[in-house]
Structure 1
Amino acid sequence: MGSVIVASELEGRLKGRVQAARRSVLTEDVYERVKSLIMNGDLEPGARVNIYAVARLLDVSQTPVREVLAALESEGLLTKEALRGYSVASVLTPDQVADLYQLRLLLEPWAAARAAERVTPDGAARLRAELGSLPQAPQGTRYEDYHDIAAHDARFHDLVAELSGSPALRDSLQRTHGHLHLFRIEYEGRSSGEPTLAEHARICAGVTSGLPEEAEQAMRDHLTAARERFLRIGPSQ
Structure 2
Amino acid sequence: MPSHDSSEAQTQEPDRRGPSPAPARQVLSDSVYERIKAMIMDHEIIPGARVGIEALSRQLGVSPTPVREALARLESDGLVVKRSLSGYRATELLSRQGLQELFEMRLLLEPRAAALAAENATEAELDLLEGLVEEMRAHPGPTGRYANYRDFAALDQRFHDAIAAASHRLLLADAVERLHSHLHIFRLISVHSTEDPTLVEHERIVRAILRRKADRAAEAMADHLTRSMERQLGQAPKS
**Does the alignment reach a TM-score above 0.5?**
yes
Asked if the contact 1:186–1:236 (Cα under 8 Å) also holds between the matched residues in 2, the reply is no
The structure with more helix, counted as a fraction of residues: 1
* Aligned partner of residue 191 in structure 2, secondary structure: helix
Displacement after TM superposition at 1:192 (Å): 4.2
Displacement after TM superposition at 1:194 (Å): 4.1
Asked if the contact 2:115–2:209 (Cα under 8 Å) also holds between the matched residues in 1, the reply is yes
Runs of 5+ in structure 1 lacking a partner? 1-21
Displacement after TM superposition at 1:24 (Å): 7.2
Matched residue type, 2:190:
E
Matched residue type, 1:36:
A
Asked if the contact 2:117–2:209 (Cα under 8 Å) also holds between the matched residues in 1, the reply is yes
1:36 aligns to what?
A: 38
219, 222, 226: which is aligned to 1:220? 222
2:27 aligns to what?
A: 25
Are residues 1:176 and 2:140 paired? no
Are residues 1:158 and 2:161 paired? yes
Cα offsets for 1:146-199 (capped at 9, x unmatched) = 222211211110111111123332332233234x53343341232245410000
Matched residue type, 2:87:
G
* Aligned partner of residue 190 in structure 1, secondary structure: coil
User: Normalization by structure 1: what TM-score?
Assistant: 0.83
Quick one: distance in 2 between partners of 1:150 and 1:203? 18
52, 55, 60: which is aligned to 1:53? 55
Cα offsets for 1:185-220 (capped at 9, x unmatched) = 341232245410000011111122222111111101
Quick one: distance in 1 between partners of 2:185 and 2:212? 34
Displacement after TM superposition at 1:235 (Å): 4.5
Quick one: distance in 2 between partners of 1:24 and 1:136? 28
Quick one: distance in 2 between partners of 1:175 and 1:235? 25
1:141 aligns to what?
A: 144
Q: Which has the larger radius of gyration?
A: 2
Cα offsets for 1:105-136 (capped at 9, x unmatched) = 00000001111111111111111111111215
Aligned residues: 215
Asked if the contact 1:75–1:175 (Cα under 8 Å) also holds between the matched residues in 2, the reply is no
2:6 aligns to what?
A: none
Calculate percent identity across the aligned residue pairs: 42
1:99 aligns to what?
A: 101
Asked if the contact 1:39–1:143 (Cα under 8 Å) also holds between the matched residues in 2, the reply is yes
Quick one: distance in 2 between partners of 1:36 and 1:235? 22
User: Normalization by structure 2: what TM-score?
Assistant: 0.82
1:14 aligns to what?
A: none
Displacement after TM superposition at 1:62 (Å): 2.6
Quick one: distance in 1 between partners of 2:127 and 2:176? 22
* Aligned partner of residue 46 in structure 1, secondary structure: coil
* Aligned partner of residue 136 in structure 2, secondary structure: coil
2:128 aligns to what?
A: 126
207, 231, 234: which is aligned to 1:232? 234
Quick one: distance in 2 between partners of 1:157 and 1:189? 23
Runs of 5+ in structure 2 lacking a partner? 1-23
